């Protein structure tokens, strides 16, 4: 009897090992299947949520600006209209990239860099031929905001870009009053001679005051955004009780200066 029991016990142990090994493999396969199912379910949920997001109307965090031109630009536009008359078409706030463009033959990366430098900038005014709207020249009105280091750097860049593009750039200093004949003479080379002569003969009042757009003697304008500066009184800090000039566009513009 003892001789027969030993082989049976050995076979039982061997069967047990085989069963355990099979069970482990089966459990491993089950976990793999579960993980795959979880991944598939998550992918389906993500796809459904993205479709729902596409259906939801996106937010547009924008508002309409009150005016297109600053007070100084509106003032000069009235003068420019009188100086140019019907001899050219005037456009304002024109994107630089709509007037000049990088040259062909450049590497794509270099072309894109050159384009990015002009895509966010604009010319103050543009004079075009009334017949075909070809560009005659561009005009930059330099007010006090052009005195900042950043604006000077921007102005130098535009000068170089226009020179290379063979685009005439006329720079005019912003003033409270303008002489129409002087403005006309600075633009005469780009305009029709016959029409300019007619405008000059019709002009009886060489000095043009900018009516409601003219800077009054005591008025000041923000060098950053060209909005009107108003007097305010400091309520806190070491300057409490003192007057100072502040931009009326606050809090959008936080420029201030001492009286």
Tokens, residue 184 = 């006309």
Which pTM value belongs to this model?
A: 0.56
pLDDT confidence of 19, banded at 50, 70, 90? Answer: low
CB atoms within 10 A of CB 221: 20
Query: CA nearest 78: which of 178, 168, 192, 188?
Result: 178
Instruction: Break the chain into its structural domains and give their ranges.
Output: 1-62, 71-213, 220-258
Give strand pairing partners of 140: 171
Angle at 239 between CA 234 and CA 241, to 5 degrees: 50
Of how many residues is the chain composed? 259
pLDDT at 102: 95
Encode pLDDT of 191-229 as tens digits: 865 444 444 445 444 444 443 344 444 567 776 666 778
93: left (phi over 0), alpha (psi -120 to 50) or beta: left
Mean pLDDT of 27-37: 82
In whole angstroms, what is the distance from residue 94 CA to residue 124 CA? Answer: 7
């Amino acid at each position: 009897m003892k001789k027969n029991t030993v082989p049976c016990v050995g076979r039982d142990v061997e069967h047990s090992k085989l069963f355990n090994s099979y069970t482990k493999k089966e459990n491993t396969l089950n976990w793999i299947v579960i993980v795959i199912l979880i991944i598939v379910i998550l992918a389906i949920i993500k796809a459904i949520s993205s479709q729902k997001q596409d259906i939801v109307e996106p937010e547009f965090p924008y508002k309409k600006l009150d005016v297109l031109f600053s007070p100084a630009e509106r003032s000069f536009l009235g003068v420019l209209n009188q100086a140019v008359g019907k001899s050219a078409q005037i456009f304002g706030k024109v994107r630089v990239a709509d007037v000049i463009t990088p040259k062909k033959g450049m590497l794509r990366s270099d072309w894109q860099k050159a384009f990015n430098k002009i895509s966010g900038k604009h010319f103050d005014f543009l004079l075009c031929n009334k017949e075909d709207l070809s560009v005659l020249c561009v005009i930059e009105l330099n007010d006090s905001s052009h005195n900042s280091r950043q604006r000077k750097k921007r102005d130098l860049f535009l000068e170089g870009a226009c020179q290379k593009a063979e685009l005439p750039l006329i720079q005019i200093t912003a003033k409270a009053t303008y002489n129409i004949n002087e403005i006309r003479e600075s633009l005469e080379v780009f305009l029709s001679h016959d029409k300019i002569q007619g405008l000059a003969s019709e002009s009886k009042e060489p000095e043009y005051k900018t009516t409601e757009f003219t800077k009054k003697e005591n008025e000041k304008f923000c060098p950053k955004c060209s909005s009107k500066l108003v007097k305010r009184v400091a309520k806190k800090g070491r300057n409490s009780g003192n007057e100072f000039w502040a931009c009326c566009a606050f809090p959008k513009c936080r420029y201030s200066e001492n009286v």
